């Protein structure tokens, strides 16, 4: 096994995943839908910036609009919107650091210490892949697979997995010996931190939780 440097802010790149089809929003580009005066993905990017050394955006439409935020924009290298793993792969290919931290564009309230805690978990378990996990409404700990800290050495296995027609993050992650990092401490508010905004109605409701820009 190749030597891995412990993840830290200086050797971790952040990737905002905004390349989906937005099916449950009627096919719109979800990341660009307005939330309290700003595009939804903008919140994820701004929340991610202080936690990593540099940022990227995974997108497949309106690339110029995302690029206007001053970060590189990566389109999938695979056709037909194969899902978040294609974004992972594009991010790993472009990542200038040893580690990649991914977050979805539709969770604007994710933890401000996400990178720090995933990194600590990776170091503790000497793991090349860590997924956030949070308790659901029934207090059952559930993986949050698009919140992932990934070592760049996993890129070949991910490319092979996608080439076989597979798309499920959980399956690929399990094969890499993924470790779960629980966000269940007092004060974590996991139901809010990891909530996904999937519909326009949810977007409108969540807009009341943020001040207008």
Known binding-site residues equal 17-19, 30, 76, 106
Q: Is residue 73 part of a domain?
A: yes
- CA 13-14-16 angle, to 5 degrees, is 150
Which CATH number covers residue 67? 3.90.550.10
Q: Is residue 4 part of a domain?
A: no
Q: Is the pLDDT of residue 191 over 90?
A: no
Q: Is residue 157 part of a domain?
A: yes
Known binding-site residues for GTP equal 17-19, 30, 76, 106
pLDDT band for position 95 (cuts 50, 70, 90) = very high
pLDDT band for position 211 (cuts 50, 70, 90) = very low
Q: Is residue 213 part of a domain?
A: no
pLDDT for the residue 26? 59
Q: Is residue 1 part of a domain?
A: no
Q: Is residue 175 part of a domain?
A: yes
Domain count, the chain: 1
User: Quick one: which of 122, 68, 90, 80 has its CA closest to 16?
Assistant: 90
pLDDT for the residue 213? 40
- What SS3 string covers 84-153? HHHHHHHHHHHCCCCEEEEEECCCCCCCCCHHHHHHHHHHHHCCCEEEEEEECCCCCEEEEEEEEEEEHH
Which residue range forms the structural domain that includes residue 28?
9-207
Q: Is residue 212 part of a domain?
A: no
Q: Is residue 178 part of a domain?
A: yes
Known binding-site residues for Mg(2+) equal 106
């Amino acid at each position: 096994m190749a030597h891995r440097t412990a993840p830290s802010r200086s050797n971790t790149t952040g990737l905002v995943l905004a390349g989906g089809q937005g099916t449950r929003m009627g096919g719109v580009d979800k990341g660009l839908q307005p939330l309290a005066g700003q595009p939804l993905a903008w919140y994820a990017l701004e929340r991610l910036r202080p936690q990593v050394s540099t940022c990227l955006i995974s997108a497949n439409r309106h690339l110029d609009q995302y690029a206007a935020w001053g970060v590189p924009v990566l389109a999938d290298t695979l056709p037909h919107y194969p899902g978040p793993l294609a974004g992972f792969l594009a991010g790993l290919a472009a990542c200038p650091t040893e580690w990649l931290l991914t977050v979805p564009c539709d969770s604007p309230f994710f933890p401000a210490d996400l990178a720090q805690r995933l990194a600590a978990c990776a170091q503790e378990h000497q793991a090349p892949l860590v997924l956030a996990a949070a308790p659901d409404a029934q207090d059952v700990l559930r993986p949050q697979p698009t919140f992932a800290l990934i070592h760049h050495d996993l890129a070949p296995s991910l490319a092979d997995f996608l080439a076989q027609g597979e798309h499920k993050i959980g399956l690929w992650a399990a094969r890499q010996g993924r470790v779960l990092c629980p966000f269940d401490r007092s004060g974590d508010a996991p139901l809010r931190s990891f909530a996904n905004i999937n519909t326009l109605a949810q977007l409108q409701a969540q807009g009341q939780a943020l001040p207008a820009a």
